Amino acid sequence: MHDPYGKWDLTKFGGYDSSVSGKNISYPKAEFEHAINDNGTGDDLWLHLFAPQTAD
């Protein structure tokens, strides 16, 4: 994946090391799924929408 903020610290609500490139980075499945999973209240679901790029 490409993580524009750098390298994620693998914790829910965690941070990033922006001194490390997020280009072509991968994360462990369990930590990623835990981080994006909704807690049932709907206030912590991470959702990223990707739109196709258009020519300028």
SS3 content of the chain, % helix, strand, coil (to 5): 15, 5, 80
Q: How far apart are CA 7 and CA 22, in angstroms?
A: 5
Tell me what pLDDT residue 35 has.
80
Identity of the residue numbered 29: K
Q: How far apart are CA 50 and CA 17, in angstroms?
A: 23
Split the chain (56 residues) into runs of 10 and give each run's mean pLDDT. 89 89 90 77 68 77
Domain tally for the chain?
Answer: 1
SS3 40: coil
Q: Which domain holds residue 23?
A: 1-56
